Amino acid sequence: MAIEVKDHLFSLSTNNSLYQMKIDEYGVLNHTWYGAKTSMDMSYIEDYPEISFSANLWDTERSRLYSLNDRLLEYPGGGISDFRLPALSVSVRDGSCALDLRYHSYEVTDNKYELSGLPASFEGKGKVQTLKITMKDTVYDIYVDLLYGVFEEENIITRAVIIRNLTFFPLRIHKVMSACLDLPDNEYEVIHFHGRHAMERMMERTSVDHGAFSIGSRRGQSSHQHNPGLILARKNTTEVSGDAYGMLLVYSGSFLAEVEKDQLDQLRAAIGLGTEHFEWTVLPGEKFTAPEAILSFTEAGLGQLSRQYHEFIREHVIRSEFVHKKRPILINNWEATYFDFDGKKLLEIAETAHDLGIDLFVLDDGWFGNRHDDDSSLGDWMVNEEKLRMPLKQLVDRIHAMDMQFGIWIEPEMISEKSNLHHEHPEWVLRSPNRYPARSRYQLVLDMANPEVIDHLENVFAHLIEENGIDYIKWDMNRSISDFYSPSLSPVQQGEMLHRYMLGVYDLADRLTSRFPDVLFEGCAGGGGRFDAGMLHYFPQYWCSDDTDAHNRCFIQYGTSFFYPISATGSHVSAVPNHQSGRVTSLRTRAVVAMAGTFGYELDLSALDEKEKEEVIRQIADYRRKQELICEGDYYRLTDPNTQNVCAWSFVSKDKRKVLVQAVVFEHRPNAKKPHVVLQGLEENGWYRRKADGKLFSGNALMKAGIFLPNELGTDMGYQIEFERIEKKESITMN
Ligand code: DGJ
């Protein structure tokens, strides 16, 4: 059994980890362990001497040994003598903010809990159990349900929290974390993913020092600046060995993740909703559900931790039917034309794309209203026939007639001042009373907290899809939220606005993706500004970054790979000099990098010369051959591009027979040894044939000594090396 409850001890076992909690003599729920499997009650590690200036709970009588401030706690409330960061802060009608949660009851069920209105992981194949531990405040009828989804095979524990107000007065929540993790020692470093537009998810590994370290977003979107996840790793943890814990939030709005090293050198790590401009009122009889967090642990290094997340996200988070389908190779017209196109130009691109073997034509921004630049028409989702010089349906039909699919760009959450929608519904804009809202990319934000807006958007986009036979939608979001006021909410509810906005976005995504299961949805937020497990629940792929430069993408895709699977990572070959960096890289390198994702092109294909077109044809055939291995195989990071001259990664099929190494050598170093990479994840005793020259290598040689890459002149040289495991024959000796 994954969940065992005995003598007040809750033991949650996965194949390679144990998560344990114990109710102590005061009814406090202690977090006794999360980590490698052990076979005992781990509460003995909570052995505290008297610590001065640590207050003692009233009911410990006059004992000075028991303090909440020292103990490893499962879900600490605020205001009752734990001076560390609380997981939950509330206040009641008299203004008091103490929350003293003690054990009330528990329940184990053989299924996975659901979170109404929020994206969450689901059961899928394999065994999962749910543990619900209910805590209750010592004075008021405030109940907190702690939910745990235990996915044994996957080495995943999911967590969520529901706060129920059974008092007769409103309860205000000021802070709510989805998961909190107290660890008994401090020998950890934090790995997190920061960035900016067009440079998302830069991996940073920092020591944990005394005090509190936090990352988060106050932008109403999970953001380019910080991804909603963090990893705790031992100082000596590498890609291939050592302890690592992951905490990933299934949420796309403002968030907060904190790591605190306390006076006893213990760690508290927590992740949940952002606290800035957050205050939620739970009326009597009502409840509040915090988003889910996905926790994972391994002793086998960062690579293994990532593979646990990749597998879990593919099998239990992305609910789209496309998750295991071969995704179409696409051509997107954005970097080819920006706003400057007509139907003829689009058909020209589509025709060339078709001749080269591309499956899907995506019409990006600029097709609707009176949009010739980014200063108008968001909200007016009617085709601009004058610009296209034909109805949208005609364009779609002509592309379908080429035996290609048709996709279209939308930005549902936004509105331009210069739009009919703004004229008709100025009250649908997020803005504070008596103030002008801040513009960003000239645009304003729709009040997604208003159910009327959601109904309107559902109708508009359902009509667009149905009337035109759309096969793919790119759902974009091109600004952060700055005006924290929803005209549809009462003054007292304004602290709920950011979360209600997200609930509205999820509602719309849920409605449209459920209504059109055969339409492939790709998420986007100015590139990867909302690339998170929340959006991936609805959209099986996400545009990784607006930076399409192959060199920069090595770093962006490296950071992205720590939590998110390759099959969810949108990546395209674009033109050179690259529009974001001005860098020139070869077509070969651009394809190598773009193949580590849902592959496509984003340039004016008709401007390529014949040789380049032939190369594109070969690339497409090559990707098709490798697509299953890339999207369904196990992913290994072979180097760290931040410290090495090579960015290399590999895909290994589940049966370890097929291996694809992809690498970019950043610069040629004269009179130096050839660049070299060491492989991972192979059959140690197996023999692998290198496809290019038939040379045989033993699995252990590839994983101990590795292989050399060519030492060509030039910068950013991309390579692909394939191996296939062969049946071991007696005649094979070292060669
Ligand atoms: C930002 C996206 O990331 C781009 O790919 C493109 O769709 C533009 N928006 C269009 O405005």
Q: What is the pLDDT of residues 391-426, one digit of tens each?
A: 999 999 999 999 999 999 999 999 999 999 999 999
- Distance (Å) from CA 410 to ligand 1 centroid: 10
- Comma-separated ranges of CATH 2.70.98.60 domains in the chain: 3-316
Among residues 323, 319, 321, 295, the alpha carbon closest in space to that of 151 is found at 295
Percent of the chain residues topping a pLDDT of 90: 97
Instruction: Compute the distance between CA of residue 703 and CA of residue 135 in angstroms, rounded to an integer.
Output: 49
Average pLDDT over residues 82-94: 97
Tens of pLDDT, residue by residue over 556-572, are 999 999 999 999 999 99
The yes-or-no verdict on residue 2 having pLDDT over 80 is: yes
Asked if residue 327 lies in contact with residue 362, where contact means CB atoms within 8 angstroms, the answer is no
| Whole-angstrom distance, CA of residue 159 vs CA of residue 178 | 7
Residue nearest to atom 11 of ligand 1 (CA): 365
Query: Cα 86 to chain center, whole Å?
Result: 25
State whether residue 398 is helix, strand or coil.
helix
* Average pLDDT value for residue range 574-595: 98
Q: State the Cα–Cα distance between residues 15 and 154, nearest whole angstrom.
A: 8
Determine the distance from the C-alpha atom of residue 487 to the mean position of all C-alpha atoms in its chain, rounded to a whole number: 30
**Position 5 pLDDT exceeds 60:** yes
How many angstroms is it from 607 CA to the middle of ligand 1?
21
Residue 280, pLDDT > 50, answer yes
- Annotation: CATH topology of 330-630: TIM Barrel (3.20.20)
* Atom of ligand 1 minimally distant from the CA of 364: 7
- Which part of the chain has CATH 2.60.40.1180? 646-725
DSSP, collapsed to helix, strand or coil, labels residue 521 as: strand
**Coil, strand or helix at 421:** helix
Residues 598, 600: Cα–Cα separation, whole Å: 7
Task: For residue 386, give both structure tokens.
Answer: 């004058």
Annotate 585-640 with DSSP letters as a single string.
--HHHHHHHHTSSEEEEES-GGGS-HHHHHHHHHHHHHHHHHHHHHHHSEEEE---
For 54, 392, 464, 730, the CA distances from 468, given in Å and listed in that order, are: 67, 7, 6, 61
Task: Report the atom number in ligand 1 closest to the C-alpha of 334.
Answer: 6
Instruction: Give the pairing of strands 267-273 and 255-261.
Output: antiparallel
Concatenating the DSSP letter of every residue in 55-100 gives ---GGGTT-SS--TTTS-BSSPBSSSS--S--SEEEE-TTS-----
User: Given ligand 1 and candidates 524, 549, 553, 602, which is best to mutate, with the most ligand atoms within 8 Å of its CB?
Assistant: 524
Contact (CB, 8 A) for 246 and 311: no
pLDDT of 173 above 90? yes
CA distance 511 to 453: 13
DSSP-derived letter for residue 479 is S
Distance (angstroms) between ligand 1 centre and the Cα of 504 equals 22
**Contact in structure between 437 and 481 (CB atoms under 8 Å):** no
Which pLDDT score, from 0 to 100, does residue 735 have? 43
**pLDDT tens figures, 430-483:** 999 999 999 999 999 999 999 999 999 999 999 999 999 999 999 999 999 999
Pocket test for ligand 1, best of 367, 410, 546 (most atoms within 8 A of CB): 546
How many C-beta atoms surround the C-beta of residue 340 within 10 A? 11
First-residue to last-residue Cα distance in the chain: 49
What tens digit of pLDDT does each residue of 45-67 get?
999 999 999 999 999 999 999 99
Mean pLDDT, residues 234-238: 97
3-316 has which CATH code?
2.70.98.60
pLDDT computed for residue 125 by the predictor: 86
According to the model, what pLDDT value does residue 733 have?
A: 52
Residues in the ligand 1 pocket, defined by CB under 6 Å: 334, 364-365, 409, 476, 478, 524, 526-527, 543, 546
Catalytic residue annotation:
532, 612
Beta strand 598-602 with 330-332: parallel, antiparallel or unpaired?
A: parallel
Residue 568 DSSP one-character state: G
Give the model's pLDDT for residue 1.
Answer: 79
Q: How far does residue 574's CA lie from ligand 1's centre (Å)?
A: 14
pLDDT of 143 strictly over 90? yes
Q: Under a CB-based contact definition with an 8 Å cutoff, are residues 357 and 351 in contact?
A: no
- Distance, CA 561 to ligand 1 centroid (Å)? 22
SS3 of 297-349? EECEHHHHHHHHHHHHHHHHHCCCHHHHCCCCCEEECHHHHCCCCCHHHHHHH
Tokens of 557: 């895709």
For residue 1, give both structure tokens: 């059994």
Question: What does pTM read for this prediction?
Answer: 0.98
Name every residue whose Cβ is closer than 8 Å to that of residue 514 and which is 6 or more positions away in sequence. Answer: none
**Cα(377)–Cα(391) distance, integer angstroms:** 18
The letter for the amino acid at 23 is I
Closest residue CA from atom 2 of ligand 1: 526
Atom 9, ligand 1: which residue's CA is nearest?
526
pLDDT at 682: 98
Fold of 646-725: Immunoglobulin-like (2.60.40)
Burial class (CB in 10 A: 0-12, 13-18, 19+), 256: buried
Query: Mind listing the pLDDT tens digit for each residue in 305-316?
Result: 999 999 999 999
Residues linked to residue 286 through DSSP beta bridges, in sequence order: none
Q: What pLDDT is attached to residue 729?
A: 57
**CA–CA distance, 343 with 386 (Å, rounded to integer):** 10
Q: How far apart are CA 21 and CA 3, in angstroms?
A: 11
Ligand 1 center to 166 CA (angstroms): 46
| Distances, alpha carbon 212 to alpha carbons 15, 78, 323, in Å | 32, 16, 38
Ligand 1 pocket test target in 338, 339, 478, 572 with most atoms within 8 Å of CB:
478
3-state helix, strand, coil in the chain (%, to 5): 25, 35, 45
For helices 610-632 and 587-594, what crossing angle results, to 10°?
20
Other CB atoms within a 10 A radius of the CB of residue 686 amount to 18
**Stretch 122-149: mean pLDDT, rounded?**
96
Mean pLDDT, the chain, whole residue set: 97
Cα 722 from Cα 15, distance rounded (Å): 32
Give me ligand 1 centre to Cα 476, in Å.
7
Residue 9 CA to its chain's centroid (Å): 33
Q: Rounded mean pLDDT of 611-628?
A: 98
Q: Which of 599, 596, 666 is nearest to 635 (CA)?
A: 596
Rounded distance between C-alpha atoms, residue 398 and residue 420, angstroms: 29
Cα 328 to middle of ligand 1, angstroms: 19
Average of pLDDT values for 684-691?
97
Q: What pLDDT is recorded for position 732?
A: 53
Task: With beta carbons less than 8 A apart as the criterion, state whether 112 and 284 touch.
Answer: no
Does the structure show a pLDDT above 60 at 734?
Answer: no
Residues ≥6 apart with Cβ < 8 Å to 415: 378, 379, 421, 422, 428, 429, 443, 444, 445, 446
Q: Is 434 exposed, middle or buried (0-12, 13-18, 19+ CB in 10 A)?
A: exposed
> Going by CA atoms, what residue is nearest to atom 1 of ligand 1?
526
Mutate to test the pocket of ligand 1, among 331, 364, 377 (most ligand atoms within 8 A of CB): 364
Looking at the predicted structure, is the pLDDT value of residue 730 above 60? Answer: no
